[in-house]
């Protein structure tokens, strides 16, 4: 007897909500990154994150910075699968998710004295948003889209279905980093520090009110319809068994089993799960300062991290309470250089290498990466006047994701980000930063020979993954 297995894919993975950076890392931790992403050789307060060894080349005294960013992202998956036509008449459906983070705060503080500098900062080190799919995803609906053909095979001629499908996922990795830098020589400094990462993920979703026009009639709730049908068939089977008519008993017993199977498979499913965990990242860095040329190098070690489920409701059986899964933050190598072309004009460039294949992921998905994420960064900064400064730059991000890695619940795209902004010296000690960064993503097309492995014969399908992203930022830097 055939089975309807569509609920088995109810997974709310939102593992790459990062708005700038690698699979799990936010590199936009200060507004100056939005103004010019190439910050790997910075010697301003944002260097606490982007080039920590460079902080010893700042002026003596205390330096603080308060920042707030607003990030908005859309994720669109255009899915093509023939059975989708049973719901709305088209085999092509667009599933759109919206992720927003109206406030992404960060705080930087450091003290510099002679050859030493000590600093700490707080930021959203990874994730930072909440993604909502009001119509679910193609991988969900493809399991439901086969209902008309399955019911027809049972003798109920059916050509329409509908479903209420919803999912919401959030991901936050809070990062608190502290460390110290020392100026070894006039041209060389070193940094050592650690970052505490605290994970707070959450997944909520449902599949409700699955309907179809059983036998070509009106749309009915399948769980209710076949629950009643199973009860009626069971009652009839019992009567025929009592009468000794085993042929009719077997007929109605089979009908009852089929109806019970459909009723069970079309029950409402709910999920409400929180995940938490923590890990520590060692961070080291070097800075080479040779007058007009400055070069910064930073290495963040791989963060071994597991998250534990704290589940309120799980009708899927996939998020059992207390179960832990790997959620490593990949190691990062950052190299940056800046050069003073003129006293009022500076250019910068950088490279980021995320060692994604070394970081453990749920389901060992890191094995399906062709290589780690590579980023290439360029920028310029111009002091228009003593008060006003403008800057701009770009970041090219090359993903290593393959077909086996990509799915509509979690995917990674190659992209180009553009940042622009301005700095305003309100006083000699106080500076206002304003910035905007937007990202253009390359679409990724995945051809799937068997779009829904739960049913036969195999039917092909296609997913086209796309995304948009924009981030606004405002911040204040103060020195005393």
Domain boundaries, the chain: 14-145+167-202+274-479
Among the residue ranges 157-161, 335-339, 407-411, 476-480, the one predicted with the least confidence is: 407-411
Mean pLDDT of 106-129: 94
Rounded distance, CA 278 to CA 58, Å?
32
Using one digit for the tens of pLDDT, what is the confidence trace for 211-222? Answer: 999 989 999 999
Mean pLDDT of 378-403: 97
Residue 199 in contact with residue 327, Cβ under 8 Å? yes
Top pLDDT among 196 and 265 is at 196
In whole numbers, what is the pLDDT of the chain averaged over residues?
A: 92
Residue 56 in contact with residue 189, Cβ under 8 Å? yes
Using one digit for the tens of pLDDT, what is the confidence trace for 39-61? Answer: 999 999 999 999 999 999 999 99
pLDDT, position 85 = 96
pLDDT, position 324 = 93
Percent residues over pLDDT 70 in the chain: 95
CATH topology for 14-145+167-202+274-479 is Porin (2.40.160)
How would residue 401 be classed by pLDDT, with cut points 50, 70 and 90? Answer: very high
How would residue 237 be classed by pLDDT, with cut points 50, 70 and 90? Answer: very high
What counts of helices (H) and strands (E) characterise the chain?
6, 18
How would residue 250 be classed by pLDDT, with cut points 50, 70 and 90? Answer: very high
Using one digit for the tens of pLDDT, what is the confidence trace for 361-386? Answer: 988 999 999 999 999 999 999 999 99
- φ/ψ of 194, rounded to 5, equals -140, 155
Mean pLDDT of 451-477: 93
Q: What is the pTM of this model?
A: 0.90
Using one digit for the tens of pLDDT, what is the confidence trace for 21-35? Answer: 778 889 999 999 999
pLDDT, position 2 = 43
**Nearest to 94, CA basis, from 79, 82, 107:** 79
pLDDT, position 392 = 98
**Nearest to 415, CA basis, from 447, 379, 369, 376:** 376
What SS3 state is found at 86?
helix
pLDDT, position 7 = 39
pLDDT, position 10 = 41
For the record, the structure tokens of 419 come out as: 């940042």
Using one digit for the tens of pLDDT, what is the confidence trace for 345-366? Answer: 999 999 999 999 999 998 899 9
Using one digit for the tens of pLDDT, what is the confidence trace for 3-23? Answer: 444 333 444 444 445 566 778
b/e per residue 432-444 (b: at least 16 CB within 10 A)? ebbbebbbebeeb
């Amino acid at each position: 007897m055939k089975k309807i297995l569509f609920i088995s894919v109810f997974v709310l993975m939102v593992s790459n909500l990062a708005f700038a950076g690698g699979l799990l890392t936010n590199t936009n931790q200060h507004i100056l990154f939005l103004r010019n992403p190439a910050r790997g050789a910075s010697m301003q307060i944002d260097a606490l994150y982007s080039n920590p060894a460079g902080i010893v080349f700042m002026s003596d005294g205390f330096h603080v910075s308060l920042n707030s960013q607003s990030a908005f992202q859309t994720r669109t998956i255009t899915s093509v699968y023939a059975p989708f036509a049973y719901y709305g008449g088209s085999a092509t459906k667009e599933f759109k998710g919206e992720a927003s983070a109206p406030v992404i705060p960060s705080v930087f503080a450091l003290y510099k004295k002679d050859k030493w500098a000590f600093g700490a900062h707080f930021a959203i080190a990874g994730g930072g948003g909440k993604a909502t799919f009001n119509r679910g995803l193609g991988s969900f609906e493809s399991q439901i889209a086969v209902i008309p053909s399955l019911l027809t095979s049972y003798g109920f001629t059916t050509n329409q279905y509908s479903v209420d499908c919803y999912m919401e996922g959030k991901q936050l990795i809070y990062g608190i980093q502290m460390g110290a830098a020392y100026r070894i020589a006039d041209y060389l400094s070193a940094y050592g520090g650690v970052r505490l990462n605290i994970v707070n993920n959450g997944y909520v979703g449902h599949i409700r009110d699955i309907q179809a026009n059983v036998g070509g009639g009106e749309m009915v709730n399948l769980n209710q319809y076949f629950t009643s049908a199973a009860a009626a068939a069971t009652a009839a089977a019992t009567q025929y068994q009592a009468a000794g008519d085993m042929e009719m008993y077997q007929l109605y017993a089979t009908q009852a089993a089929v109806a019970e199977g459909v009723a069970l498979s079309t029950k409402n499913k709910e999920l409400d799960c929180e995940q938490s965990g923590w890990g520590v990242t060692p961070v080291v860095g070097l800075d080479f300062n040779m007058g007009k040329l400055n070069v910064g190098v930073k290495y963040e070690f791989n963060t071994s991290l597991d998250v534990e489920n704290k589940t309120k409701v799980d009708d899927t059986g996939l998020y059992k309470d207390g179960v832990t899964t790997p959620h490593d933050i990949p190691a990062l190598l950052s190299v940056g250089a800046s050069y003073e072309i003129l006293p009022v004009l500076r250019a910068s460039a950088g490279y980021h290498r995320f060692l994604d294949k070394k970081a453990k992921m749920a389901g060992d998905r890191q094995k399906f990466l062709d290589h780690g994420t590579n980023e290439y960064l360029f920028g310029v900064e111009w002091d228009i006047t003593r008060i006003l400064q403008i800057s701009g730059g770009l970041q090219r991000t090359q993903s290593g994701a393959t077909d086996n890695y990509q799915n509509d619940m979690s995917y990674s795209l190659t992209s180009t980000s553009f940042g622009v902004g301005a700095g305003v010296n309100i006083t000699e000690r106080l500076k206002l930063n304003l910035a905007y960064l937007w990202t253009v993503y390359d679409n990724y097309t995945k051809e799937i020979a068997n779009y829904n492995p739960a049913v036969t014969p195999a039917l092909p399908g296609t997913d086209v993954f796309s995304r948009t992203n924009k981030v606004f930022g405002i911040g204040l830097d103060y020195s005393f």
